[in-house]
């Protein structure tokens, strides 16, 4: 069973919280930006079962990142998180 999880967030505190919360349940890889996340995804290693991405990040937003991941890794479950309260963000996701 694939237990690899990639967490993408530009806030190191948030990444640390996820890492502690998932410790013992999953093999967690952390990425502080979308480019690092894409490099981890496509470096030739085993696929991730789940990718969790923050919506608001530099370079690419979380939605753009998850769309790109979906194109290349259609079997990977993709989850977007956001603290935004606007309905448009939810609809776009």
* Residue-wise pLDDT tens digits, 27-67: 999 999 999 999 999 887 778 999 999 998 888 899 999 99
pTM of the model: 0.88
Across residues 15-25, what is the average pLDDT?
A: 95
CA 81/CA 7 separation, integer angstroms: 10
Residues 6 or more apart whose Cβ sits within 8 Å of residue 69: 38, 41, 51, 76, 78
Q: Given phi > 0 = left and psi -120 to 50 = alpha, else beta, which region is 50?
A: beta
The answer to whether 4 touches 26, Cβ cutoff 8 Å, is yes
């Amino acid at each position: 069973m694939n237990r690899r999880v990639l967490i993408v967030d530009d806030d190191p505190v948030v990444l640390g919280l996820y890492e502690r919360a998932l410790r013992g349940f999953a093999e967690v890889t952390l990425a502080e930006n979308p480019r690092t996340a894409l490099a981890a995804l496509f470096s030739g290693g085993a696929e991730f079962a789940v990718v969790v991405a923050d919506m608001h990040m530099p370079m690419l937003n979380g939605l753009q990142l998850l769309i790109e991941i979906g194109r290349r890794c259609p079997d990977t479950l993709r989850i977007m998180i956001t603290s935004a309260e606007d309905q448009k963000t939810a609809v776009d996701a």
